[in-house]
Amino acid sequence: MRILLAALSFLVLFTLPAAAQDSPIQKLLQQHRDLIEQSSRRTIAPAIDALRDSGLPAAQVVLEKWQGKELWQRKADGLFFFAERIDAQTYRLVDIATGNETATAAKDEIEQLKPNSGIRGMIGAALVQFQLTDPDPARRADALNAISRDAEPAHLAALRASIGAETDPDLRARKERLERLLTISYDEDPAARIAAIQSFAGDLGVDARAALNPLVATTRAVVSGNPPAAENLARVLEPGSEALPKDEAYALLVAADLAPPRINRDDIRAALAANIQNGRVGSVPVAQLDTDAARERAYAELAEAGIVPATATEAQVAEALASHTFYERYAETDPEITAAAAAALDDIALKVGLNQAADLTLDALSLASIYFLAAIGLAVTFGVMGVINMAHGEFIMMGAYTGYVVQQLVPDYTLSILIALPLAFAITFGAGVAMERLVIRWLYNRPLETLLATFGISIALQQLAKNIFGTQARPLTSPDWLDGALVINDVVSISYIRIAIFVLALIFLGLFLFIMRKTRLGLEVRAVTQNPRMAASMGINPERINMLAFGLGSGIAGVAGVAIGLYAKVTSELGQDYIVQSFMTVVVGGVGNIWGTLLGATLIGFLQKGIEWLNPSNTLAAQTYMILFIILFIQFRPRGIIALRGRAAGD
Amino acid sequence: MKTLKTILAGAVAFGALALPAWAQDTIKVGVLHSLSGTMAISETTLKDTMLMLIEEQNKKGGVLGKQLEAVVVDPASDWPLFAEKARELLTVQDVDVMFGCWTSVSRKSVLPVIEELNGLLFYPVQYEGEESSRNVFYTGAAPNQQAIPATDYFLEELGVEKFALLGTDYVYPRTTNNILESYLKSKGIAEEDIFVNYTPFGHSDWSKIVSDVVALGADGKKVGVISTINGDANIGFYKELAAQGVSADDIPVVAFSVGEEELSGLDTTNLVGHLAAWNYFMSADTPENAAFIETWHAFIGDDARVTNDPMEAHYIGFNMWVNAVEQAGTTDVDAVREAMWGQEFPNLTGGTAVMGTNHHLSKPVLIGEILEDGQFDIISETDPVPGDAWTDFLPESAVLTSDWKDLECGMYNTETSSCVQIKSNY
Amino acid sequence: MRKSFVARNPSVLIFLALLGVFTLAVTVLGEGLGVGLISTSFVKTLGKTLCLCLVAIAMDLVWGYTGILSLGHFAFFGLGGYMIGMWLMYARTELIVAESLAQAEIPPTPDEIRDAIGTQIFGVVGGSDFPAVWTFAHSLPIQLALVVLVPGLLALVFGWLAFRSRVTGVYLSILTQAMTLALALYLFQNDSGLRGNNGLSGLQNLPGAADVPQSMVSIWFFWASAAALAIGYVVAAFVVSGKFGSVIRGIRDDEARVRFLGYSVEGYKLFVFTLTAVIAGIAGALYYPQAGIINPAEIAPIASIYLAVWVAIGGRGRLYGAVIGAAFVSLLSTWFTGGQVPDLPLGIYTVKWVDWWLVLLGFSFVLVTLFAPKGIGGLFDLLTGRHGPDRHGAALGPDQGSLREKEAEQ
């Protein structure tokens, strides 16, 4: 019996791998084993094509698993398996042909195949023909994604064939759009292509432009005489014009072997160095070769003696340029198609331009709302009370860290944000009141010293945050419903988190106006702002009002901190990044007026985005010029955009 | 005057005697990493790594039979202070070797001091190259060990045809992007297909830049982003990428300054598939790495802490130095330098690192894809690449080479066969 | 009968004497000429501290005496450093390049030399062309003149714009802060031509003095810094001692009244602002060759705020107060961040001073502002038995410049 069992198990051990080895798909993979192990996009194509065209039932599954990094290879015999993790060290091996479990293996006996995203794209493209008609809509969507990323001519027919049977309206719309895009690139019939091109006139999609632009891409060329008639000529270029400077034109000639190259300074120097004889080059002593003129003279002598090639003179260059025609040609040979594509792109360009302006406006509005949110608390303390609070940025930071701590305790992101917002307000309100009571109220008559004392608090708070939370940035993650962006079209989009900040800024504007205009507290704050002594004699306690106003301003900073932490980062230096901008916002807007702060934030936001748009490769320059503008602006409106008038202006 | 001198000298000698006797039997190792200021975020970890390595070495019996003693100073992310502290370490504390610096500017600040005083510095961070100092061993990656292989990967494996080079505005991104621009042009990428943008440190408003990058795809070419964005700014950048739904399959981003440490401040679910190029990833599956991580967790007392590439660089650099000292039988800088050339030590990722005579390591280049748990999945590993001090892709430096053994020069012009300068450019 | 300048300013003589003794002591104890008890790095630290004292005097003039809280004086300090740094870099590189090119077979043209210097200087930041700001970098006299002219001109233009439109008080502080931030951001850009974030480095190596050891160079710079501080102190004492000094103090206490008395307030302010900018520029030009590197982070707004902190802690409105504050706080800061201060075990928690020093500084600064507005200099008043009015009371008159209740009682 025992012997029988042993024999059986021996048999099982032996036959199963043998079966695995024998399946046609395993054979196919083994055939391409080298390529698969090499795992490079440049060489992998035959393996993927063979699987795709094999007609084997398991091909689709194998390709999908391979794409999903679920295909493993046993080191001992090189066979491929699907593997499932049992625990950290053991894996269950599944036969790729049958899907049956075959064996288990220790982790170091097998190796995972890790196709890079280039290969995954190719596998995706190969899977298209299987997936386009797959009953699972998610797979069909995958196929469409694959087509839009790596389209191949063969996809066109498969796509057309699948449209009729498509039941999902969204997918059907996508398929139809993709069909038109592929028609532009791959259809044989020019009329169909032109029709497809024209259907995209005014379309904002990046994919449409991506399909159209290659049609109108041009290359430069040069011939002596007229351009060949067979080519689709874009335009003739005049050497020396802006489109084709003379140097570039001559370089084209040299590249086309139509003219001898010019000899540059380095070549001259090397030629001279190679021909030094008795301390002289030609008749020129080496010691005198420290000017370009002397070097050219020496080189000319060498050229005359036939030792080095003569340089092309200006006259020769001019003649060569004049005797040739320079032009740009389209890669696409059909002029009707290029004309249609150019017309469609012209149409698109105008709309894209308008939409870009809209997008820029949205960005600017969003930036303005962030600045506004950061500055609104400062507008209360600085504007209303005339107190400079350099620690304002640290209150923003405290708010952000509050958000982080709450998120550590309450794992639900939505709930934690809902808790963090009021909690941040409460904590920074408390901190603000404490600071006002302990420090600021002693310094109301010394505004410059308030500035310095609050600065002292600022550096202490910052370092405290570092000591408590460490120097690493802390994660503050927004809830799922704030992930992603509101996409209006491929040009205009804005992330939900920015919309949320915008809404928050509006809420605080409303809240602030309500408190100031409609509540007793607001009335008293305004009274104390205008004339504390008169207010005091009317029975208002200015100390209490100052304390509450300061707390309010700090509390708003805390809430702003949660919002800013959500969209950027939470570090101890978070506040510093916003403090100067916040001051600018308040000062530019005009002290003591919430509308001024709003205008100031808007101005700064739009200005910064505007300068960034003018100089897209250097964001730092945008910030520099914005500050310079603000410095100049204050020269002309020292009291800001909205200046208080009359008695309230005070001094 | 002379008597005064004697009295004072006597006082000094007395002061020295008062020091604990064991102080003279130790080998001092200077640790020059910022513990406060903006760079503390990255450098504090390296200080801890050094303390751990020194502690481990002492457990093994130290070096040359003596215990190692760490001298930690805080240059506070203040670049002039790096020079001052380096001088202090070398002249007042008399350290035998220093491990330190992160930013290029801090290294440039320290260079003249250590070259003047003939000190020894191990620099663990990937950097822009264009330098080979007599007194520095560069254990981080030179551009040809990180940037160029990553760009090759983009060109060949991902088929990227249009590049966005985004960087923080300082020397490493500037020089790296310069090298990459001329490299890409040599690979036939047209100038208009290379978009370059520089942002300030800690930049947070990324929406427009990310939209600009997305819009690059309008001419039908595959777009890839090469990011040399530094530190905190990455958080806002990746958050914006995620918000705008930029998938790694559409627009892959490869970063040279984003490692496990940076990702720990982020939710990476939406970033899966974006790339980073380093010489080390924590996910490397080797017994050495597992042991290293275990020691690190035990030392720091926190199992959640990650390891990263500069830590491995210190690990290799420190061990090589220990071996070189044992080999030379002294801590004398010149003897150790000579023993360092050709020094070999196993990488944590497998294989062996070799120190070249140009003071750069030969290491494999890894490319990893970001995973949901903030780790990297290593999808590509090259053979070891020797670090090249002077890049071959800029005309001025293509003619330069560095060889401290035979040429005895770190900036040797092969065209004129002469040494441009013995000291470094700073 | 007017008393002589010295008689009106007894502190000048005492200060000069102390500075002289200090300089002599450091020279004797230093490594360069003396017995080597003080390390070269500490001599450099002391030399730098003297420069900081000089810029603190400038800050005291503009804030303590004239009442303009400038949060941008480190911009001028940095500009002075940049100006001298350009020459130091250029001249040092020129020597290296000349030596290297001399080995070539063909003698170099002037253009080639310039290109090679450009490559050496800007190669590390990925460039090679000389920007226009380096036009005069080859000439020491011109760059020395620029040390004074550039900060002076910037202060003149900025001050003229600001004072003309009567920007005062906290607005002016914010504006000066914006100025230094704008300048720092501008210099951070590589395109500005001053090597961006890397700044100018290797400044401690004097061109043509490669053989002189740093121990000697550090003493030279220490002497130069001491001399500059002495001259600066005397000039500042002179400025604040006469009628001019009375006017600027008047401006500090009540600008409007001085204006109504017929003084050109703007002119006085502009003069003080520009003069202090020039002093700051000179201090910077002496500081950075000792530090070895200058880069834009040096002129970030925080640096100028620290300057105000030093002056406030030392005691505003007295020149020696500024000197004491700058020396005391900056040396203390060096000591604390140097890691040499022993940790303070508190049972459950050990205070590491590297981590807690800034917290201590921040809070002690608040305390000084609240309880000792006269700073450390106030201790001298205790010694001499001088009492100042307590300004905690409310104003007697209609506005903030008026006498306070407590003063009136005395």
Instruction: Give the residue on C whose Cα is nearest the Cα of A270.
Output: C106
Query: Quick one: tokens of B98?
Result: 């220093």
Q: Does C354 touch chain B (CB under 8 A)?
A: yes
Say whether pLDDT at B105 is over 70: yes
CB spacing of A475 vs B240 below 8 angstroms: no
Neighbouring chains of C at 3+ CB pairs within 8 Å? A, B
Give the model's pLDDT for residue A443. Answer: 83
Q: Is residue B423 part of a domain?
A: no
Say whether pLDDT at A647 is over 50: no
Mean pLDDT for the stretch of residues A543-563: 91
CB spacing of C123 vs B85 below 8 angstroms: no
Q: Using CA of residue A223, residue A228, residue A233, residue A236, what is the dihedral sign? A: positive
Residues B244 and B380 in one domain: yes
Q: Does A631 touch chain C (CB under 8 A)?
A: yes
Choose the weakest-confidence range: A405-419, B2-16, B86-100, C133-147.
B2-16
CB spacing of C190 vs B174 below 8 angstroms: yes
Question: How far is A72 from A75, CA to CA, in rounded Å?
Answer: 9
**In terms of CATH architecture, what is A352-649?**
Orthogonal Bundle (1.10)
Neighbouring chains of A at 3+ CB pairs within 8 Å? B, C
- What is this structure's pTM? 0.86
pLDDT level of residue A11 (50, 70, 90 thresholds): very low
Give the model's pLDDT for residue A19. Answer: 53
CB spacing of A449 vs C369 below 8 angstroms: yes
CB environment B287-319: b (16+ within 10 A), e (fewer): eebeebbebbeebeeeeebbbbbbbbbbbbbbb
Instruction: Give the residue on A whose Cα is nearest the Cα of C360.
Output: A460
Q: How many domains does chain B have?
A: 2
pLDDT level of residue C409 (50, 70, 90 thresholds): very low
Residues of chain A with pLDDT > 70, as a percent, come to 95
Choose the weakest-confidence range: A507-516, A609-618, B269-278, C174-183.
A609-618
- Name the residue type at position A484: G
CB B168 within 8 A of CB B229: yes
Chain A nearest CA to C201, separation (Å): 22
Question: How far is C80 from C85, CA to CA, in rounded Å?
Answer: 8
Q: Residue C383 phi/psi, 5° resolution?
A: -65, -45
Residue A526, Cβ neighbours under 10 Å: how many?
A: 16
The H or E element spanning position A326 is: strand A325-330
CB C354 within 8 A of CB B74: yes
CB spacing of C44 vs B198 below 8 angstroms: no
Residues B221 and B321 in one domain: no
Residues B242 and B318 in one domain: no
pLDDT level of residue A399 (50, 70, 90 thresholds): very high
CB spacing of C45 vs B84 below 8 angstroms: yes
Q: Sheet holding B361-363: strands in order across? A: B344-346, B352-355, B361-363, B385-386
Task: Show residues of chain A in contact with C312, CB under 8 Å.
Answer: 449, 452
pLDDT tens-digit profile of A64-92? 889 888 888 888 888 888 888 888 788 88
Choose the weakest-confidence range: B163-167, C15-19, C102-106.
C102-106
Residues B44 and B72 in one domain: yes
Say whether pLDDT at A174 is over 80: yes
Per the model's pLDDT, the better-predicted residue between B424 and C176 turns out to be: C176
pLDDT tens-digit profile of B111-127? 999 998 999 999 999 99
- Name the residue type at position B45: T
Query: Quick one: tokens of C365?
Result: 């600064």
Residue from B226, B238, B221 nearest B148 by CA? B226
pLDDT tens-digit profile of A329-346? 888 888 888 889 999 999
Q: Residue B30 phi/psi, 5° resolution?
A: -80, 135
Q: Is residue B20 part of a domain?
A: no
pLDDT tens-digit profile of C317-360? 889 999 999 999 989 888 887 666 777 777 777 777 777 888 88
Choose the weakest-confidence range: B3-12, B294-303, C269-278.
B3-12
Q: Does A190 touch chain C (CB under 8 A)?
A: no
pLDDT level of residue B24 (50, 70, 90 thresholds): low
Residues B73 and B184 in one domain: no
Q: Is residue B273 part of a domain?
A: yes
Task: Show residues of chain C in contact with A456, CB under 8 Å.
Answer: 309, 361-366, 369
Query: Quick one: tokens of A246?
Result: 């003379």
Instruction: Give the residue on B whose Cα is nearest the Cα of C357.
Output: B36
Q: Which of residues 528-587 of A touch C (CB under 8 A)?
A: 580, 583-584, 587
Mean pLDDT for the stretch of residues A405-421: 91
Say whether pLDDT at B1 is over 70: no
CATH code, B36: 3.40.50.2300
Q: Does B5 touch chain C (CB under 8 A)?
A: yes
Contacting residues for A565 by C-beta, under 8 A, at least 6 apart: A399, A400, A401, A403, A404, A476, A574
ipTM of the modeled complex = 0.84
SS (H, E, C) chain C: CCCCHHHHCHHHHHHHHHHHHHHHHHHHHCCCCCCCCCCHHHHHHHHHHHHHHHHHHHHHHHHHHCCCCCCCHHHHHHHHHHHHHHHHHHHHHHHHHHHHHCCCCCCCCHHHHHHHHHHHHHHHHCCCCCCHHHCCCCCHHHHHHHHHHHHHHHHHHHHHHHHHCCCCHHHHHHHHHHHHHHHHHHHHCHHHCCCHHHCEECCCCCCCCCCCCHHHHHHHHHHHHHHHHHHHHHHHHHHHHCHHHHHHHHHHHCHHHHHHCCCCHHHHHHHHHHHHHHHHHHHHHHHHHHHCEECHHHHCHHHHHHHHHHHHHHCCCCHHHHHHHHHHHHHHHHHHHCCCCCCEECCCCEECHHHHHHHHHHHHHHHHHHHCCCCCCHHHHHHHCCCCCCCCCCECCCCCCCCEHHHHHC
Q: Does A458 touch chain C (CB under 8 A)?
A: yes
pLDDT tens-digit profile of C227-246? 999 999 999 999 998 899 99
Instruction: Give the residue on A whose Cα is nearest the Cα of B166.
Output: A617
Q: Which of residues 243-272 of B touch C (CB under 8 A)?
A: none
Residues B298 and B327 in one domain: yes
Q: Is residue B8 part of a domain?
A: no
Residues B262 and B332 in one domain: no
Q: Which of residues 120-179 of C touch B (CB under 8 A)?
A: 120, 123-126, 128
Say whether pLDDT at C65 is over 60: yes
**Across the A/B interface, how many CB contacts are shorter than 8 Å?**
152
Residues B230 and B245 in one domain: yes
Q: Residue C193 phi/psi, 5° resolution?
A: 85, 5
CB spacing of B171 vs C196 below 8 angstroms: yes
Q: Is residue B414 part of a domain?
A: no
Choose the weakest-confidence range: A434-438, A553-557, C252-256.
C252-256
Angle made by CA atoms C92, C95, C96, in degrees to the nearest 5: 90
Choose the weakest-confidence range: B268-272, C162-166, C316-320.
B268-272
Instruction: Give the residue on A whose Cα is nearest the Cα of B200.
Output: A620
CB spacing of C40 vs B177 below 8 angstroms: no
Say whether pLDDT at B135 is over 90: yes
Q: Is residue B254 part of a domain?
A: yes
pLDDT level of residue C393 (50, 70, 90 thresholds): very low
Give the model's pLDDT for residue A12. Answer: 46
Give the model's pLDDT for residue C396. Answer: 43
Full residue range of the structural domain in which residue B241 is found: 144-283+368-386
pLDDT tens-digit profile of B354-409? 999 999 999 999 999 999 888 999 988 889 999 999 999 888 888 889 999 998 88
Question: How far is A302 from A280, CA to CA, in rounded Å?
Answer: 11
Q: Does A272 touch chain C (CB under 8 A)?
A: yes
Give the model's pLDDT for residue A21. Answer: 62
CB spacing of C119 vs B396 below 8 angstroms: yes
For A463, the closest of C362, C373, C399 (CB atoms) is C362
Q: Is residue B2 part of a domain?
A: no
Q: Report in angstroms the alpha-carbon separations of A268 from A59, A253, A281.
A: 64, 21, 12
Question: How far is A150 from A314, CA to CA, in rounded Å?
Answer: 49
Say whether pLDDT at C408 is over 70: no
Angle made by CA atoms B367, B369, B374, in degrees to the nearest 5: 120
Q: Does A449 touch chain C (CB under 8 A)?
A: yes
Mean pLDDT for the stretch of residues A8-19: 48
CB B237 within 8 A of CB A565: no
CB spacing of A290 vs C355 below 8 angstroms: no
Say whether pLDDT at A9 is over 70: no
Mean pLDDT for the stretch of residues B154-178: 90
Choose the weakest-confidence range: A48-62, B308-322, B344-358, C80-94.
A48-62
Say whether pLDDT at B223 is over 90: yes
Give the model's pLDDT for residue A644. Answer: 60
Task: Report CA Rg, chain B.
Answer: 22
CB A40 within 8 A of CB A48: no
Q: Does C185 touch chain B (CB under 8 A)?
A: yes
pLDDT level of residue A129 (50, 70, 90 thresholds): confident
**In terms of C-beta density within 10 A (0-12 exposed, 13-18 middle, 19 or more buried), how is residue C285 classed?**
buried
Q: Report in angstroms the alpha-carbon separations of B390 from B171, B395, B413.
A: 15, 10, 11
Say whether pLDDT at B416 is over 80: no
pLDDT level of residue A641 (50, 70, 90 thresholds): confident
Domain ranges of chain A: 23-119, 132-216, 218-330, 352-649
Residue A274, Cβ neighbours under 10 Å: how many?
A: 12
Q: Does C206 touch chain B (CB under 8 A)?
A: no
Task: Show residues of chain B in contact with A397, CB under 8 Å.
Answer: none
Chain C nearest CA to A118, separation (Å): 32
Per the model's pLDDT, the better-predicted residue between B371 and A276 turns out to be: B371
CB B217 within 8 A of CB A210: yes
Mean pLDDT for the stretch of residues A539-552: 89
Q: Does A315 touch chain C (CB under 8 A)?
A: no
Say whether pLDDT at B90 is over 60: yes
CB environment B60-87: b (16+ within 10 A), e (fewer): eebbeebebbbbbbbbbbbbbbbbbbbb
Mean pLDDT for the stretch of residues A339-367: 90
Residues B199 and B337 in one domain: no
Give the model's pLDDT for residue C111. Answer: 84
Choose the weakest-confidence range: A306-315, A419-428, B304-313, C208-217.
A306-315
Give the model's pLDDT for residue C389. Answer: 56
**In terms of C-beta density within 10 A (0-12 exposed, 13-18 middle, 19 or more buried), how is residue C363 classed?**
middle
Mean pLDDT for the stretch of residues A364-373: 92
Give the model's pLDDT for residue A93. Answer: 87
pLDDT level of residue A2 (50, 70, 90 thresholds): low
Task: Show residues of chain A in contact with B276, CB under 8 Å.
Answer: none
Residues B59 and B74 in one domain: yes
A23-119 under CATH 3.40.190, yes or no = no
Instruction: Give the residue on C whose Cα is nearest the Cα of B91.
Output: C39
Chain A nearest CA to B409, separation (Å): 24
Task: Show residues of chain A in contact with B283, CB under 8 Å.
Answer: none
Say whether pLDDT at B4 is over 80: no
Residues B238 and B372 in one domain: yes
Say whether pLDDT at B48 is over 90: yes
Q: Which of residues 49-88 of B touch C (CB under 8 A)?
A: 72-74, 76, 78-81, 83-85, 87-88
Residues B230 and B315 in one domain: no
Instruction: Give the residue on A whose Cα is nearest the Cα of B169.
Output: A620
For A580, the closest of C167, C178, C366 (CB atoms) is C178
Q: Which of residues 571-630 of A touch B (CB under 8 A)?
A: 571, 573, 577, 609, 612-613, 616-620, 623
Task: Show residues of chain A in contact with C373, CB under 8 Å.
Answer: 446, 449
Q: Does C204 touch chain B (CB under 8 A)?
A: yes
Query: Quick one: tokens of B289?
Result: 């790495």
Give the model's pLDDT for residue A560. Answer: 92
For C293, the closest of B109, B174, B419 (CB atoms) is B109
pLDDT level of residue B267 (50, 70, 90 thresholds): confident
Question: How far is A391 from A376, CA to CA, in rounded Å?
Answer: 14
Task: Show residues of chain B in contact with A217, CB under 8 Å.
Answer: 219
Q: Does A127 touch chain B (CB under 8 A)?
A: no
**Of the segments B364-373, C1-10, C109-118, C123-132, which one has the largest average pLDDT value?**
B364-373
Residue from A478, A477, A434 nearest A457 by CA? A434
DSSP string, A96-117: TTT--EEEEEEGGGEEE----H
